[in-house]
């Protein structure tokens, strides 16, 4: 199955894995940022109860949660970006932007749907008295949301947002199917060149684990610390 010769061969392509790591991290970080912004907009529209926008936002969330990520990715890449011309250049000298961008878009749209539910729950968990106090001071609805509700809601859901980052790191591997050079793409490329599969997979496993495991532990640590602060 594995051999030191196999590892030696694979190691010649370690540069691909380094690039894969950078791509996976960029992909995930951008997805969390854009996914969060999208999620915030969706959550606010749903809570606004302005018809028909709240229905559309609800439909968006339900569709994205009820269909496979792969289907969403293919629709974004082949159907939507199939008709849009994206400048083709290389980020950091190796990431092909015309593939990377649809990947970010599809992942953000998917993650936005999930995150919006988390944000909505976070907003709804804030005591009504906070809104009443702010409004009674003459603050407008939007000012109250921005200054009073969101800061508290987001602090409460920070661990959930960080966990979403971990999930995205893992799910972003799906982007190799549209040729984004992330970690799984490196596995595939190395396999093609060396006819070895086990060793590249082992390396990918180690890289993913080193990314996600410490991140989860750090999140859990801060989560414990924060909840301790609240009980003070």
Partner 1 sequence: METRDELIKVTDLKKHYKEGVLKALDGVSTTINKGDVLVIIGPSGSGKSTFLRSLNLLEVPTSGSVVFHGIDITKKTYTDAEGKTVKLNIDEHRRRMGMVFQHFNLFPHMTILDNMTLAPIKVRKMPRAEAELKAFALLKRVGLADRADAYPIQLSGGQKQRVAIVRALMMEPEVMLFDEPTSALDPEMVGEVLQVMTELAKTGMTMVIVTHEMGFAREVGKRIIFMDGGKMIEEGTPDQIFNHPQSPRLQDFLKKVL
Residue with Cβ nearer partner 1 (12 or 140): 140
Residue with Cβ nearer partner 1 (152 or 215): 152
Cis geometry, peptide bond prior to residue 52 (ω within 30 degrees of 0): yes
d(C-alpha 164, C-alpha 35), whole Å: 10
Residue with Cβ nearer partner 1 (80 or 133): 133
Residue with Cβ nearer partner 1 (4 or 142): 142
Residue with Cβ nearer partner 1 (88 or 136): 136
Question: Which secondary-structure segment (H or E) carries 176?
Answer: none
135 Cβ contact list (under 8 Å, min separation 6): 141, 144
CB of 43 to partner 1, least distance (A): 19
DSSP H helices in the chain = 4-11, 14-48, 53-66, 69-74, 97-124, 128-136, 141-144, 150-171, 183-194, 198-231
CB of 141 to partner 1, least distance (A): 9
b (16+ CB within 10 A) / e for 110-122 = bbbbbbbbbbbeb
CB of 229 to partner 1, least distance (A): 9
CB of 131 to partner 1, least distance (A): 9
Q: How buried is residue 46: exposed, middle or buried, by Cβ count under 10 Å (0-12/13-18/19+)?
A: buried
CB of 154 to partner 1, least distance (A): 10
148 secondary structure, DSSP code: I
Per CB under 8 A, residues contacting partner 1 are 127, 129-130, 132-140, 143, 147-148, 151-152, 155, 232
Contact 165, 215 (CB under 8 A): yes
Residue with Cβ nearer partner 1 (121 or 154): 154
88 Cβ contact list (under 8 Å, min separation 6): 96, 97, 98
CB of 57 to partner 1, least distance (A): 25
């Amino acid at each position: 199955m594995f051999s030191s010769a196999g590892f030696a061969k694979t190691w010649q392509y370690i540069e691909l894995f380094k690039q894969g790591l950078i791509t996976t991290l960029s992909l995930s970080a951008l997805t969390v940022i854009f996914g969060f912004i999208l999620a915030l907009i969706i959550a606010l529209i749903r809570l606004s109860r302005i018809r028909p926008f709240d229905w559309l936002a609800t439909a968006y969330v339900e569709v994205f949660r009820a269909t496979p990520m792969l289907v969403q990715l293919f629709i974004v890449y082949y159907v939507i970006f199939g008709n849009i011309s994206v400048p083709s250049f290389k980020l950091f000298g190796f990431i092909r932007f015309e593939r990377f961008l649809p990947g970010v878009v599809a992942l953000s749209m998917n993650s936005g749907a999930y995150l919006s539910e988390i944000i909505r729950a976070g907003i709804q968990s804030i005591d009504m008295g906070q809104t009443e106090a702010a409004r009674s001071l003459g603050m407008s609805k939007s000012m109250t949301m921005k200054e009073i509700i969101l800061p508290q809601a987001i602090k409460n859901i920070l661990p959930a947002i960080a966990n979403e980052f971990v999930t995205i790191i893992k799910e972003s591997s799906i982007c190799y199917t549209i040729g984004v050079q992330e970690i799984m793409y490196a596995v595939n490329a190395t396999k093609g060149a060396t006819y070895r599969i086990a060793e590249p997979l082992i390396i990918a496993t180690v890289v993913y684990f080193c990314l996600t495991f410490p991140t989860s532990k750090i999140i859990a640590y801060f989560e414990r610390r924060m909840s301790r602060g609240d009980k003070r």
